Amino acid sequence: MIEYKENKEIIAKRIAKIFKSGEVVNLGIGLPTLVANHVPHDVSIILQSENGLIGLGPAPAPGKEDKDLTNAGAAPVTILPGGAFFDSAMSFAIIRGGHVDYTVLGVLEVDQEGNLANYKIPGKMVPGMGGAMDLTTGSRVVIAATTHLEKNGSSKLKRRCSLPLTAAHEVNYVVTDVGFFEIAGGRFHLREYFAPYSIEWILEHTDADIVVDENCKEIKL
Amino acid sequence: MTEKPVIDAAKAAAMVKPGDVVHIGGFLGCGSPDSIIAELVKLGTNKLTLVCNDTAVLDEKNNRITGVAPLIKARAFNRVIVSHIGTNPETQRQMNEGETEVTLVPQGTLAERIRAAGAGLGGILTPTGVGTEVELGKQKIVVGDRIYLLEEALPGDVALIKAKKADKAGNLVFSKTARNFNPLMAMACKLVIVEVEELVEIGSIDPDMVHCPCIFVDYIVMSKAQGGKK
């Protein structure tokens, strides 16, 4: 009997292994931001922030914050040597124009058709889509980062999203704290599962159609 | 080059009339014209339409109020056109109670609609929003093998923008991520007022380093918030 325990660090660790040096990556606010902490030291990616920079660096030391230098969540950040600033039209030309390799974003729901919902719960909470619709439309690869289960134990992976969509048929990978899924042909394909979870546990706790990849393997993170 | 009038923030705020469509620069408050916003709140001008990236941060518990948030609180707008309201619960409240009409626009579409207005274009074709609620009521156009939405240009009556530095002709230099929507809005509105931290002589900004050419700017306001220097 495996008891589910939410683990965002595992999700960030696994996603951080996807990138190669030189690739341009946009990390959404919240869970996706953690990914930056786990990128291997010999891999040098270029972080894009939709409020107008490439070459996003770590948070500044206390007292070194610059009111004119923030990320898309209004947190103070730094810029690395070789980085650049630009206006919002240029920022979204980069995003929509296919010049971002990966976008990593959090979800309320993600389904086996590659649909993703994360900007609106009608009647309850409407934060707005911000840059998420452009990022999911324009990026080469869209990675949904999410805990596998809701607090109430229900599956975040669905057959069909019930909330208004942020992206229609745009998600390529879903990385949760129990496994790595690729979306293809209207199904989740389980490629890796993370100890201590098992394939059986995942099939039992996911409210969607899953194909277990023939090379599916256990990964320790 | 002709010099642009330098006016105080109160005079700038008084140029905004009820009913105006007002473009205000800034991204969650970073790069917003705070001195002009403060005067506009004092004047109590209302029935405005806001075009802005977001409705900024209204977190009164932690005493964090940025950008256009004081104007939202002062009920200056009966319409807002933005990409994000998640950090301003007052916008959500006004929307839920039917006090303010909120239109959410994908951020890249918003930027490009503003740019289109300043660039003499009727609109733009974007794939963003296809298959979502954003496509409702919009014309779809197929180019090659891809579906695009026709998104119309979004011009304004007044742009209230923020730059780091201007020369007296109104050539602008922005700072870091405080640039965001500011140069686009300068192109898209009939009246353009820029708040700056630093004002320098004509000729002292390298023309290669100008981010926004002076012809878009009508008035210059010295920022109070950052202790502006001439």
Q: Mean pLDDT throughout B31-39?
A: 98
Residue A155 belongs to some domain of the structure = yes
Percentage of chain A lying above the pLDDT 90 cut: 97
Q: How far apart are CA B65 and CA B86, in angstroms?
A: 14
Residue A171 corresponds to which amino acid? Answer: V
Q: Give me the catalytic one of A23, A50, A65, A182.
A: A50
Question: From start to end of chain B, where are the E strands?
Answer: 6-7, 21-24, 48-51, 58-59, 64-65, 77-82, 101-104, 123-126, 140-143, 146-152, 156-167, 172-173, 189-200, 219-222
How large is the ipTM? 0.96
| Predicted local confidence at residue B36, as pLDDT | 98
pLDDT band at B1 (very low <50, low <70, confident <90, very high): confident
> CB B83 to CB A127 under 8 A?
no
- The minimal CB distance from A130 to the residues B84, B132, B183 is found for B84
pLDDT digits (tens, 9 = 90+) for A130-150: 999 999 999 999 999 999 999
> CB B92 to CB A125 under 8 A?
yes
| Predicted local confidence at residue A123, as pLDDT | 86
Buried b (16+ CB within 10 A) or exposed e, B167-182: bbbbbbbbbbbbbbbb
In whole numbers, what is the pLDDT of chain B averaged over residues?
A: 96
Residue A156: which of A166, A143, A146, A142 has the closest Cα? Answer: A146
Instruction: Note whether A154 and A139 are within 8 A (CB).
Output: no
| Predicted local confidence at residue B229, as pLDDT | 47
pLDDT band at A40 (very low <50, low <70, confident <90, very high): very high
Residues of B within 8 A of A87 (CB-CB) are 111, 174, 179-184, 211
Has residue B230 got a pLDDT over 80?
no
Residue A76 belongs to some domain of the structure = no
Q: How far apart are CA A27 and CA A58, in angstroms?
A: 13
Residue A180 belongs to some domain of the structure = yes
Residue A178 belongs to some domain of the structure = yes
> CB A87 to CB B83 under 8 A?
no
Residue A87 belongs to some domain of the structure = no
User: Could you give the domains of chain B?
Assistant: 6-222 (3.40.1080.10)
Percentage of chain A lying above the pLDDT 70 cut: 100
Q: How far apart are CA B107 and CA B23, in angstroms?
A: 14
| Predicted local confidence at residue B227, as pLDDT | 44
pLDDT digits (tens, 9 = 90+) for A85-104: 999 999 999 999 999 999 99
Residue A185 corresponds to which amino acid? Answer: G
- The minimal CB distance from A134 to the residues B31, B107, B184 is found for B107
Domain count, chain A: 1
Question: From start to end of chain A, where are the E strands?
Answer: 24-27, 46-49, 53-56, 79-85, 102-106, 109-111, 116-117, 141-145, 157-158, 173-175, 179-184, 187-194, 210-219
Q: How far apart are CA A21 and CA B62, in angstroms?
A: 40
- Residue B123 bridge partners (DSSP): B152
Active site (annotated) includes residue A50: yes
Percentage of chain B lying above the pLDDT 70 cut: 97
Domain encompassing residue A160 = 9-40+99-219
Residues of B within 8 A of A134 (CB-CB) are 106-109, 128
Residues of B within 8 A of A66 (CB-CB) are 176
Instruction: Note whether A55 and A83 are within 8 A (CB).
Output: yes
Task: Name the residue of chain B whose CA is nearest to A167's CA.
Answer: B132
Q: How far apart are CA B155 and CA B62, in angstroms?
A: 35
| Predicted local confidence at residue B225, as pLDDT | 66
Q: Mean pLDDT throughout B51-60?
A: 97
Q: Mean pLDDT throughout A111-128?
A: 95
Has residue A181 got a pLDDT over 80?
yes
* CATH, residue A115: 3.40.1080.10
Q: How far apart are CA B40 and CA A194, in angstroms?
A: 55
In chain A, positions 56-115, which contact chain B (CB-CB < 8 Å)?
Answer: 66-74, 79, 85-89, 91-92, 95-96
pLDDT digits (tens, 9 = 90+) for B83-131: 999 999 999 999 999 999 999 999 999 999 999 999 999 999 999 999 9
Residue B78: which of B50, B115, B56, B36 has the closest Cα? Answer: B50
Q: How far apart are CA B141 and CA B74, in angstroms?
A: 41
Burial of residue B161 (CB within 10 Å: 0-12, 13-18, 19+) is buried
